């Protein structure tokens, strides 16, 4: 099992504030899990007994609406932590986390996290900054859903996938491959509308569709939209 002090991904999260002794303690109490594509890391309403650090892979954070539709709130990739807000507020998680591809995650028990929070001021500040950043993003998302057209929201999501997760060097397709249902869930529209808009973008030369793969053909035009 890899040691936390030698792990590169910890530099991308609140864990970067931990000193060598704390990292050694962390290594002795963490558990490494492999989560297969499509499996949940945790489910909405669950009481977490710790937090998860993503070592590799991408997961979607989702919420079920009253009519049973899945709304994708955000995507989380390696280096980020899951469950911080729930742990601090002592509330069940309000989102589900589901693997979009095979993932490796480290589970850190609640007692250890609270100990870091109480004893390491920089760690607790990093956690609070992350939670504040999530709140800001939630506000921005609310404004986007209210003020932008579905077409603009689709363009924004495609650019987000391109800028955040990059492209496959071989065929230039987006690295993160979402189903049409998942894309529709991210932009808050019906699957049929999403399929129709993707076809429209394809005909306009903004993107190229190849099965499930999406290649952005004219990124400047997409940004202007």
Q: What is the pLDDT of residues 129-141, one digit of tens each?
A: 888 888 887 777 7
Distances (CA, A) of 18 to 26, 30, 120, 121: 9, 14, 7, 10
3-state secondary structure of 97: strand
Edge-first strand order for the sheet with 40-42 is: 40-42, 96-99, 58-64, 70-77
Domain architecture of the chain: domains with CATH: 4-146 (2.60.120.10), 148-224 (1.10.10.10)
Quick one: pLDDT at residue 2? 63
Task: Quickly list DSSP for 153-165.
Answer: HHHHHHHHHHHHH
Nearest to 108 by CA among 83, 125, 126: 83
Q: How does 51-72 read in b/e, with b if 16+ C-beta sit within 10 Å?
A: bbbbbebbbbbbeeeeeeebbb
Helix (H) or strand (E) holding 206: none
Is-above-0.85 flag for pTM?
Answer: no
Q: pLDDT means per 10 residues in the chain (225 residues)?
A: 68 79 85 93 93 92 80 87 87 92 92 89 86 80 78 92 89 89 88 94 92 90 90
């Amino acid at each position: 099992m890899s040691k936390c002090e030698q792990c590169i991904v910890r530099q991308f999260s609140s864990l970067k504030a931990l000193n060598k002794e704390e990292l050694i303690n962390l290594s002795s109490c963490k558990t490494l899990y492999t989560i297969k594509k499509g499996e949940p890391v945790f489910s909405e309403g669950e009481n977490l007994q710790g937090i998860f650090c993503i070592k590799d892979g991408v997961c979607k954070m989702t919420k079920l609406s009253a009519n049973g539709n899945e709304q994708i709130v955000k995507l989380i990739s390696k280096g980020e932590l899951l469950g911080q807000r729930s742990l601090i507020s002592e509330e069940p998680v309000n989102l589900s986390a589901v693997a979009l591809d095979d993932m490796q995650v480290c589970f850190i028990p609640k007692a250890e996290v609270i100990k870091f929070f109480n004893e390491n001021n920089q760690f607790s500040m990093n956690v609070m900054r992350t939670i504040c950043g999530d709140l800001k993003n939630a506000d921005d998302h609310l404004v986007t859903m209210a003020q932008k057209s579905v077409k603009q929201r689709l363009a924004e999501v495609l650019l987000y996938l391109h800028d955040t997760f990059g492209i496959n060097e071989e065929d230039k397709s987006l690295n993160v491959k979402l189903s049409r249902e998942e894309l529709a869930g991210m932009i808050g529209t019906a699957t049929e509308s999403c399929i129709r808009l993707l076809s429209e973008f394809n005909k306009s030369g903004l993107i190229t569709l190849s099965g499930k793969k999406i290649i952005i053909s004219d990124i400047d035009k997409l940004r202007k939209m």
